[in-house]
Every structure is written in C-alpha cells, then in structure tokens.
Amino acid sequence: MISGKNKNKIKLRGFLKYALSLLLTALFLYIAFKGVDINEVFKIVSSSSVIWILAFVVVLFSAHYVRALRWKIILHSVKPDASVKFLFGALMVGYGVNSVVPRLGEVSRAVLIGKWENLSRSSMFGTIILERVIDVIFLGFAVIVAILMYSEKLLTSFPWLKSSLYATIIFIFFVIFIFYLTIKHRERFYNFVVKFFSRFSEKLAHKIAHMIQMLGEGFGSLKGTKNYFIAFLLSALLMFLYAFGSYIGFFIIGMQEVKPITFQMGWIVMSISAIGIVIPTPGGTGSYHTLAKSTLVLLFGFSEPVSLAYAFITHIIPYLFAIFSSLIIFFVLNRQHENLLKIVKTDIKEL
C-alpha cells in the first residue's frame, strides 16, 4: 500500500518530468522557427498534395503493421497465437499516449496487450524494452549507412553525430554483454547487481535489477534461429519504410521542383531526425523539427521555410494519425475483447 506522502512524491515527480518535456518542446520549437517566416511556411504547407499525403499515410500504416508483426515474432514462444489485431491496436494506443505524455505509451502498450491477450504485464514490459533496444541498434546502423553515403559533409554539419555514433556502438556492445549475462548467468548476475548497487541505494538496486530481469524475460521470449532471422528482416524493413516515408515527404510539398530528390536523401533525413524522436518530448515535437530542418538546410541546401514546412507536414500527419487512430482503436478493440469474454463466460456456464 502506497502512503499519502509517497503518492505526493510520485505525482510531483511525474509533474516535473512532464514539465521538463514541455520545456524541451518549447525550446526546440523556438530553435526550429527562430528567424523563419511562419506565414511562408504555412503557405507552402497549404499547397500540399493530397495524393502524396495519402501515399505517406499508407507507408506510415505499413510501418506500424510491420512493427506489430515483429512484436508477434518476439512473443512467439510466450504466445504463438497472439492476435496481430490486438498487437497493432496496443501499439497504436501507445503511440497516441506518447503523443501527449512521453514514454507513458510503453506502459499503456504493456497493460493493454496484457489485458487483451491475458499475458503477464511484466513479461510484456520486457518485450517492449527489447523492441526499444533493437530500434536503437538499427538506428545506429541507419546512421552508419547515412555517414557512408554523405560522410564528409554530414560529420562537418553535425559534429556531435560522431560522438553519438560512438556512444551507440558502445551501447550496442554493452546490451549484448547484458543479454549474455542475463541469459547464461541470470541468478548470479541479478544477485551481483543487487549487492553492488545496494551500497548506494536499496531502491535503486532493485529498480535496476528489475529492469534487467524484464529485459531477460523479453529476450527470452524471442527464441529460435528462425525467429531471430525474421525479427532482423522485419527491423530492416521497418528502417526502409521509415526512410521511404521521409522520401515521400519531399513530394508532399513539391520539393522535387526545387532540386532533384533521391531515396538517399530520404534515408539521411530519416536517420538524423529519428534521433530527435529519442528526446523525451511529446511525439518528438520540436526536436524532430529542429533536426529535420537542419538536415535539409545544411546538407541539401533547401531554404529554411521549405525545410520547416517539410518538418511540419511530416510530423503533424503521424501525430494526428496516432492520436485519432488510438482513440478509435482503443474503444473498438476494448469492446470486442469484452464481448469475447462474455461469450467465453457463457460457454463455460453452459458446460
């Protein structure tokens, strides 16, 4: 039972985190829009092609569906018959929640899929953590590919990218090492973590140990060489779809009329701007705009209004899509799940 004092502390901590995310959003939006003619930006946005917007939404939907399929592969050993419909629904609700409160979407996903598929929330958290780790690894590979495509100018325009890449590589090797210890020596590693961090804080020790335990459960659910291979292919396909979406974004506001557009440009914009999504702002608002605009201006020589119009339109479409679809999907699937439970209970009574 949580005491009133601890409840107030939790509420205060949550409020401070949300306030910080809003502050970061405002700061990045200020950096992105500073010195840019906003009227010119919205004039460009207002001339957007409806056909290309629809194509963008199709690619976006496909990427989300592929992510749901990958989640099913990760869950294969836990529940082989997990419904892609419910996985996709939980995923979209998570996106919708993240668009308002950063990182809370992951909690929503775990709770919903645990409820809809009758699975342990703890193990669901583990699979979501594993997903995020895979995403970071593939984002690191995407950045490496981007650097190979545009090495000199990319590193000159974004000097912090080199250190970020080194940090990502270190993180990847660290995670692989943690995977090894968690799978091969789980109990000994768990006890070591608790003992080591208990010197500083008992609460911190158990939090870290619990995180490692959930990660181990998540990784343990992805079993079999075939599933590893499929998860790898789906992750690569996901990166391609995200890059393809960035590529289509150029055509939404007619950037191909300014200068030639290539898929490589879409890949580079995706790789750099995706780093902005990692920053804890609601739906990547502000951080995405700043990095996407900077990439287009510094690397490809587009004007600031055009670059900011691109950032705005390619952010607002997924943002609104996530919020509206999450509301619809939640009520529809939740009702379906409740109706299914009623049918099962009726059948049991009849038996």
- If you average pLDDT over residues 88-95, what whole number do you get? 90
Distance in angstroms (rounded) separating the CA atoms of residues 122 and 83: 19
Question: Percentage of the chain with pLDDT > 70?
Answer: 84
Closest Cα partner for 49 from 248, 258, 245, 241? 248
Distance CA 124, CA 121 (A): 5
Task: Provide the residue ranges of all domains of the chain, joining segments of one domain with +.
Answer: 26-345
Report yes or no: 284 and 277 within 8 Å, Cβ to Cβ: yes
86-90, 202-206, 304-308: least confidently modelled range: 202-206
Q: Above 70 in pLDDT, residue 220? A: no
pLDDT at 193 over 80: no
In DSSP notation, 39-52 reads: HHHHHHHHT--HHH
**What pLDDT, on the 0 to 100 scale, is given for residue 7?**
60
Amino acid 307: pLDDT: 94
The percent of residues in the chain predicted with pLDDT above 90, rounded, is: 29
State how far the Cα of 188 lies from the Cα of 315, in Å rounded to an integer.
Answer: 45
Cα 341 from Cα 118, distance rounded (Å): 11
Mean pLDDT value across the chain: 82
- Give the range with max mean pLDDT: 23-32, 45-54, 90-99, 119-128: 45-54
CA nearest 277: which of 154, 88, 87, 142? 142
Concatenate the DSSP letters of all residues of 245-287 into one string: HHHHHHHHTTGGGTS---HHHHHHHHHHHHHHHHSSSGGGTTH
What confidence tens digit (pLDDT) does each residue in 270-318 have? 988 887 777 777 778 888 898 899 889 988 889 999 999 999 999 999 9
Count Cβ atoms below 10 Å from residue 176 Cβ, excluding itself: 12
Q: Considering only 12-26, 71-85, 337-351, which range has the smallest mean pLDDT?
A: 337-351
Yes or no: say if 91 and 280 are a contact pair by the CB < 8 Å rule: no
The arithmetic mean of pLDDT across residues 129-141, rounded, is 85
Please indicate whether residue 133 or residue 42 has the higher confidence score (pLDDT): 42
Average pLDDT over residues 203-227: 72
- pLDDT of 61 reads 94
pLDDT exceeds 50 at position 106: yes
Whether the predicted pLDDT of 342 surpasses 70: no
47 token code pair: 């001339």
Q: What residue type is 46 in one-letter code?
A: S
Q: What angle do CA 136, 140, 145 make, to 5 degrees?
A: 145
Closest CA to 94 of 160, 86, 157: 86
pTM of the predicted model as reported, rounded to 2 decimal places:
0.83
CA distances from 184 to 187, 209, 226 (A): 9, 16, 21
- Residues 76, 227: contact at Cβ < 8 Å? yes
Over its C-alpha atoms, the chain yields an Rg (Å, rounded) of 22
Average pLDDT over residues 254-283: 87
Helix axes 121-157, 50-74, angle to 10 degrees: 130
- 279: alpha, beta or left? (left if phi > 0; alpha if psi -120 to 50): beta
Distance CA 15, CA 105 (A): 16
Taking residues 215-222, what's their average pLDDT? 69
